A = this chain, B = another copy of it.
Amino acid sequence: MKQHTPRLFLDDLAPGLSFRSGTVDVTADEIRSFAGQFDPQPFHLDDAAAHATLFGGLAASGWHTAALTMRLIVESLPFDGGLIGTHCELAWPLPTRPGDRLHVEGEIVEISPSRSKPDRGIVVMRSRTINQDDGIVQTLTASLLVFRRPATDTV
């Protein structure tokens, strides 16, 4: 017998559908490692240097928060064909800090079947990435390409 992971298609989604992800713990080492590769600025690399900045202490790159958010969403939404973003809007109301435990709460806000390609549609998803103190470290509104269930597909 073959095991199946449940897969989600456009047909399974509706505006208002919401989800809550698992959690991820963020360490100072991970913050510094990501920043060293992609965002080498003092407030993302060094706690002492960060104290003299707007952040007042070590803070993760916003792109690190975005990447961690992606992992939490990928683990939560098993879209058939994958989670493929075409464009998005992002904001970082608060920084992610060492020791933070993040999770994502999201919902489907809009579904637009493609007019030219009947096998797919665009889903607008809105999410908040939230720390252990209920602080919002990221808001994301993303347009995702999602496929319809093929006519021949058996669930």
Contacts and interface: CB of A to CB of B under 8 A. Distances in A.
A70 interface: yes
Contacts of A40: 71, 74
A74 B35 CA distance: 11
Interface stretch (A1-9, A10-18, A61-69, A104-112): A61-69
Interface footprint category on A: 20 to 34
Given A54-B145, A63-B63, A81-B53, A38 B86 contact: no
A61 B70 contact: yes
Contacts of A47: none
12 contacts: A37-B67, A37-B71, A38-B68, A39-B67, A39-B71, A41-B83, A54-B82, A54-B84, A61-B67, A61-B70, A66-B66, A89-B89
